[in-house]
Amino acid sequence: MENISDATKHFIDLRRHMWMAGIDEELRRLIWQIAVTGKYISSKIQESNRKLAGHNNMYGEEQLALDMSSDEIIKNQLTFSGFVSHYASEERDAIIQVGKGGEKYIVTADPLDGSSLVDTNLAIGTIIGIHDAPILTKGEKSLVAAMYITYGPLITMTYSAGNGTHEFVLNREGEYVLSEENIRLDEKGTIYSIGGLRKEWTQGHLEYIRFLENEGYKLRYSGGFVPDINQILIKGGGIFTYPALKGSPQGKLRLIYELQPMAFLMEQAGGMATDGIERILSIPAQTHDQRSPVYMGSRYEVETAKTFLKE
């Protein structure tokens, strides 16, 4: 990107950016197709919000329909992409074949993270992982790209194919234009986002949160994984954590669908992602619905968490 002036680089569209980054043709086209899929999901969300207006009693049904519709939209796009052999979704009980079997990539998805926030009009999102080998037991070795789409006041798409983490904004013409290239986290942030009931926290985690509070960190938590991670990336640092709980020692978030893609993006931005001790991308995925605690964000906060959890 050195040959492009600062005045014009923010109008580079997604396809040109990926081409200039030297991304493989098939992977480039697949990322683009998934990004376009975000437009269709966004339309479904807007349609749902119109239906929900003044009809609170139908929210539960509409939320379920949104999750399933988003999943189906992604599956259909991948089926006809020509690049994907299998699809694993948080909405499905098993990994399914969507190609003929010889295609290069396997895609994982949380089709609509935070769908329970739709009726409150908060941001929600889609999380995608792209693998070039079987996803179970392989972990980082198979993950070649990751992305998430945020549906909020703006529709944004953040991706990495191992060449840094980059954010694009969908403009009025329906094009993804570059918003921020090579996002970099500061070594230390000022915000923390934390899930789980306080009464269920372990002692080490509780002491860690007290440390952050005493240090003056500001609490920023929406209840949605995508908007909370997006805030840490765009604000330049901080920590997101959903810890091991007394009643749920493996936490809440799923390794394949949520944590691996976000860890990939976070590390590409200079941050870290661990389960409190071990690096997220080094944890072998043995089942498709495996869960893990997570501490993800700037290096200082993640490394500091380790000291409290070891004690």
Residue 266: C-alpha distances to residues 105, 117, 172, 232 (Å) = 22, 24, 28, 9
Q: Which CATH number fits domain 6-180: 3.30.540.10, 3.40.50.300, 3.40.30.10, 3.40.50.970?
A: 3.30.540.10
Q: Are 230 and 156 in contact (CB under 8 A)?
A: yes
Pairing status of strand 84-89 against strand 105-113: parallel
Two tokens at 206? 């509780």
Which position has the token pair 């926030």? 117
207 by Cβ neighbours in 10 Å (0-12 / 13-18 / 19+) ranks as: middle
Ranges for all domains in the chain classified under CATH 3.30.540.10: 6-180
CA angle 116, 120, 122 (to 5 degrees): 80
Within the chain, all domains assigned CATH 3.40.190.80 are found at: 191-310
For residue 132, give the amino acid letter: D
3-state secondary structure of 55: coil
The pLDDT tens digits along the chain (311 residues) read 445 445 455 568 999 999 988 999 999 999 999 999 999 999 988 887 655 544 444 345 555 788 999 999 999 999 999 999 999 999 999 999 999 988 999 999 999 998 888 878 889 999 999 999 999 876 567 999 999 999 999 999 999 999 999 999 999 999 999 999 999 999 999 999 999 999 999 999 999 999 999 999 999 999 999 999 999 999 999 999 999 999 999 999 999 999 999 999 999 999 999 999 999 999 999 999 999 999 999 999 999 999 999 86
* Ordered strands of the 191-194 beta sheet: 218-219, 191-194, 239-242, 294-297, 272-274
DSSP 11-50: T-BHHHHHHHTT--HHHHHHHHHHHHHHHHHHHHHHHHHH
Give me the architecture of the 191-310 domain, per CATH.
Answer: 3-Layer(aba) Sandwich (3.40)
